[in-house]
């Protein structure tokens, strides 16, 4: 089946339509959210603000209203290593103003390694944010004790990511904050050049997960991070709305990356025309059997949609086959 699917994907890419402009984005998002125009507008307006390289995350709102917050700077999925570092108790946040930042891919094993920096930030009366590969328990305890005594205004965060991507993220953090990246093999580059290099990496990777990570790095360097605060009157309504927005977000980014095709299972029906030629190019009998299995699977979406709408699936399939590739099937009409 793998060979058949691979060939069909090539046909899909060739026949997909690019998503252009706010109206296209709104249409994709609305349909993905169950024809919810509110969600369509929300996603379209958010992407317009952060660009196609942007990153969108969802949070629950404390009110019934849904709003969008555009965050300057960058965001990564790691938090403070001790609750004692919290500065805003009401929101459980560490908030620093004009902080000094230490970024390193090394483990801080001995407090003496950072004493000069601690002394300097104390003299300047500025906070210190440490982002490190790891920090030993004695060093963490020392920082916590001095923080609680009011001698230091400090917070520690472990490095985000892993492997080669961890080092790349640390480089980005250093560039965004103006910090030096303390690594033996790092040569500092300009932020704009860094963005271009990431985009080059992005075009050269076939790994979907890695591709999304690289896109996140581009957005974070460009400041394109949006948080949608989802509100509703009830918990049930909130979860439903969050799922709709999440689906719309994912579908829209996928559409902007790879284009769109007619829906309602119509595209799968048209792909059936390719099965015969694909089978003719095969020598292995098992691969031919796999192609037949894929062919049956391609029929299923349109037939199921039609049946659920109370229409004869076989008739719908034949109608789709007689139409142009660019025309989909709408069971609601």
pLDDT digits (tens, 9 = 90+) for 173-221: 777 777 767 774 544 322 333 444 445 555 566 666 666 666 666 555 5
Least confident of 1-15, 39-53, 173-187, 270-284: 173-187
CA distance 181 to 102: 7
Q: How far apart are the first and last CA of the chain?
A: 34
- Give the model's confidence band at 142: pLDDT under 50 very low, under 70 low, under 90 confident, else very high: very high
Question: What is the assigned CATH class of domain 83-188?
Answer: alpha beta
Over residues 314-319, mean pLDDT: 88
20-36 pLDDT per residue, tens: 889 999 999 999 998 89
Over residues 138-143, mean pLDDT: 93
Highest mean pLDDT among 59-73, 160-174, 175-189: 59-73
Query: Contacts from 195-204 at CB under 8 Å and sequence distance 24+?
Result: 195/221, 195/222, 198/168
- Give the closest residue to 135 by CA, choosing from 158, 118, 154, 152: 158
Q: What is the pLDDT of residue 187?
A: 42
Look at strands 67-71 and 225-230 and give their pairing: antiparallel
CA distance 327 to 23: 19
Give me the residue spans of the domains in the chain: 1-16+261-333, 20-72+224-258, 83-188
CA distance 161 to 168: 9
pLDDT of 222 higher than 70: no
Over residues 312-316, mean pLDDT: 87
Tell me, letter by letter, the H, E, C secondary structure of the chain.
CHHHHHHHHHHHHHHCECCCHHHHHHHHHHHHCCCCHHHHHHHHHHHHHHCCCCEEEEEECCCCCCEEEEECCCCCCCCECCHHHCCECCCCECCCCCCEEEEEEEEECCHHHCHHHHHHHHHHCCCEEEEEEEECHHHHHHHHHHHHCCCCCEEEEECCCCHHHHHHHHHHHHHHHCCCEECCCCCCCCHHHHHHHHHHHHHCCCCHHHHHHHHHHHHHHHCCEEEEEECCCCHHHHHHHHHHHHHHHHHHHHHHHHCECCCCCHHHHHHHHHHHHHHHCCCCHHHHHHHHHHHHHHHHHHHHHHHHCCCCHHHHHHHHHCCCCCCCCCCCC
100-133 pLDDT per residue, tens: 888 888 888 888 888 888 888 888 898 989 888 8
- Give the model's confidence band at 79: pLDDT under 50 very low, under 70 low, under 90 confident, else very high: confident
- Higher model confidence: residue 312 or residue 174? 312
Q: What is the pLDDT of residue 280?
A: 84
Q: What is the pLDDT of residue 229?
A: 94
- Higher model confidence: residue 244 or residue 49? 244
Q: What is the pLDDT of residue 224?
A: 66
Given 1.10.287.1040, 1.10.560.10, 3.30.70.2190, 3.40.630.30, which CATH number is that of 1-16+261-333? 1.10.560.10
Q: What is the pLDDT of residue 120?
A: 84
Q: What is the pLDDT of residue 200?
A: 52
Q: What is the pLDDT of residue 94?
A: 86
Q: What is the pLDDT of residue 72?
A: 67
Q: What is the pLDDT of residue 228?
A: 92
- The residue count for the chain: 333
Task: Give the architecture-level CATH label for domain 20-72+224-258.
Answer: 2-Layer Sandwich (3.30)
- Give the closest residue to 134 by CA, choosing from 162, 161, 101, 159: 159
Over residues 265-280, mean pLDDT: 88
pTM of the model: 0.58
Over residues 271-283, mean pLDDT: 86
Q: Average model confidence (pLDDT) for the chain? A: 82
Query: What percent of the chain is modeled with pLDDT above 90?
Result: 26
- Give the model's confidence band at 99: pLDDT under 50 very low, under 70 low, under 90 confident, else very high: confident
């Amino acid at each position: 089946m793998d060979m058949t699917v691979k060939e069909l994907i090539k046909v899909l890419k060739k026949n997909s339509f690019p998503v252009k402009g706010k109206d296209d984005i709104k249409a994709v998002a609305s349909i993905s959210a169950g024809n919810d125009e509110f969600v369509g507008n929300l996603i379209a307006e958010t992407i317009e603000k952060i660009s196609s390289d942007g990153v969108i995350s969802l949070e629950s709102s404390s009110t019934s209203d849904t709003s969008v917050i555009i965050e300057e700077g960058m965001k990564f999925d790691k938090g403070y290593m001790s609750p004692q570092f919290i500065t805003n108790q009401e929101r459980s946040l560490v908030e620093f103003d004009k902080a000094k930042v230490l970024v390193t891919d090394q483990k801080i094993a001995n407090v003496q390694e950072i004493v000069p920096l601690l002394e300097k930030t104390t003299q300047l009366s500025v906070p210190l944010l440490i982002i490190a590969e790891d920090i030993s328990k004695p060093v963490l305890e020392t920082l916590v004790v001095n923080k609680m005594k009011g001698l230091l205004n400090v917070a520690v965060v472990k490095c985000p990511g892993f492997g080669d991507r961890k080092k790349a993220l640390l480089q980005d953090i250093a560039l965004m904050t103006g910090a030096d990246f303390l690594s033996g093999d790092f040569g500092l580059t300009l932020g704009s050049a860094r963005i271009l290099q990431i985009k080059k990496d992005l075009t050269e990777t076939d790994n979907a997960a890695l591709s999304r990570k690289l896109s996140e790095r581009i957005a974070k360097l460009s400041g394109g991070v949006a948080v949608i605060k989802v509100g509703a009157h009830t918990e049930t309504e909130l979860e439903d709305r969050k799922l709709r927005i999440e689906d719309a977000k994912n579908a829209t980014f996928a559409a902007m990356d790879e284009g769109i095709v007619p829906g309602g299972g119509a595209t799968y029906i048209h792909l059936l025309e390719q099965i015969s030629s694909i089978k003719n190019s095969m020598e292995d009998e098992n691969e031919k059997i796999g192609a037949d299995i894929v062919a049956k699977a391609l029929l299923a979406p349109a037939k199921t949609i039609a049946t659920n709408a109370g229409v004869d699936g076989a008739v719908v399939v034949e109608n789709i086959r007689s139409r142009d590739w660019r025309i989909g099937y709408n069971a609601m009409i």
